[in-house]
Amino acid sequence: MPCYVKSHSRGEYVFDRGWAEAYERVGGSYYPKLQVAVPFTPATGPRLLVRPGPQADAVRAALADGLVELCRQLGTSSVHVTFLPEAEWRFLATHGFLQRTDQQFHWENAGYSCFEDFLSALAARKRKAIRRERKAALEDGISVHWLTGSDLTEGVWDAFFDFYMDTGSRKWGRPYLTRAFYSLVGETMRDRILLVMAKRGGRWVAGAINFIGGDTLYGRHWGAVEQHPFLHFEVCYYQAIDFAIAHGLARVEAGAQGEHKLARGYLPVTTYSAHFIADLGLRRAVADYLTHERAYVAAAGAELAELAPFRKDLILGQA
């Protein structure tokens, strides 16, 4: 299991700062804690890395029990396994881990041949709104470019890092990725990276970074040094859909949160995390909180799904 000792909760996208504050108010020390995740990446994938076979369940059980024992030996307050598949989430519940849910918004490729084909599946009002947004985003002489592989030069990374720092400083308060990070991933993963970059007047003005998986495009973060109406939607969401269709990808995962994605064809999807809390009092309080939170997440997801922008005749036909 990829496991890290952490002294903070930044970069996780499963928010437990309230738990930390509550524990610290009664004299506890929430940090350090153990985190099982892909750092900085809210993408679902296996966390119990076990070879298939007749011993797989026994090995998973050993990993789960070993993780709890590691928590005790290190004296950490808790263990947090985030963005794991539902089956692993249910399995860890049988080993004392509390169950948490949240939601993301994913776009699913229904075999579309082009972006207009996707738009034809939407209700007329939504279809017109997206066309207006895409047109407005490219006004003021803006052009959009897909950069991958050898296109990812140090000059491009310099520009993108400026976007990241500008947006991160305004929205998050403490950007945590360094300039060297982008050079490193550009060197080691360049064929798995898509930068969607916007240019105006010969200058890069905005961009979004995506990682290309086997069948999924993973949208991560974006930034801009100029503010233009709807440019965020174009660079982050519509261009990602265009790229996925052009390359036969099954879906786009557009990162954490964002109900505004719904109107752009991204539908709510449940995500899962599992949490072991060593202190019995804190465990009881968190368990009670999670019971209510799971009910809320389920109800909100059902309500949002009803607001999907797709044509009702298509939805009824699928049902």
Residue 214 gets which letter from DSSP? S
Q: Which band of pLDDT confidence, cut at 50, 70 and 90, is reported for residue 283?
A: very high
Residue 311 lies in a domain: no
pLDDT, greater one: 68 or 259:
68
Cβ–Cβ under 8 Å, residues 234 and 133? yes
313 pLDDT more than 80:
no
d(CA 12, CA 42): 7
pLDDT of residue 99: 98
Residue 255 belongs to some domain of the structure: no
Total-model pTM: 0.90
Residue 54, domain extent: 3-103+270-306
Residue with tokens 């076979």: 53
* 85 and 202 in a common domain: no
**Claim to verify: residue 43 and residue 138 sit in the same structural domain:** no
Are 94 and 25 part of one and the same domain?
yes
- C-alpha–C-alpha distance, residues 42 and 256, integer Å: 6
For residue 31, being part of any structural domain is answered with: yes
173-190, pLDDT tens digit by residue? Answer: 577 889 999 999 999 999
* pLDDT range class, residue 314, cuts 50, 70, 90: low
* Same domain membership, residue 95 and residue 128: no
Query: How many domains does the chain fold into?
Result: 2
Residue 140 resides in a domain: yes
Backbone phi, psi, residue 177, to 5°: -90, 145
Q: Does 235 share its domain with 121? A: yes
Regarding whether 87 and 115 lie in a shared domain, the answer is no
Query: Do residue 139 and residue 241 come from a single domain?
Result: yes
Instruction: Report the pLDDT value the prediction gives residue 254, as an integer from 0 to 100.
Output: 87
Residue 173 inside a domain? The answer is yes
In a domain, residue 315? The reply is no
Predicted confidence band at 172 (pLDDT cuts at 50, 70, 90)?
low
Q: Which residues contact 59 (CB under 8 A, 6 or more apart)?
A: 50, 51
| pLDDT, position 319 | 47
- The residue-averaged pLDDT of 190-208 equals 97
Summarised one tens digit per residue, pLDDT across range 94-105 is 999 999 999 999
Q: Can you give the CATH number for the domain in which 203 is found?
A: 3.40.630.30
Q: Residues 261, 263, 266, 267: what is their CA dihedral angle, to the nearest 10 degrees?
A: 110
Q: What angle do CA 176, 16, 37 make, to 5 degrees?
A: 60
Asked if residue 318 is part of any domain, the answer here is no
14 lies in a domain? yes
Nearest C-alpha neighbor of 82 from the set 178, 184, 3, 163: 3
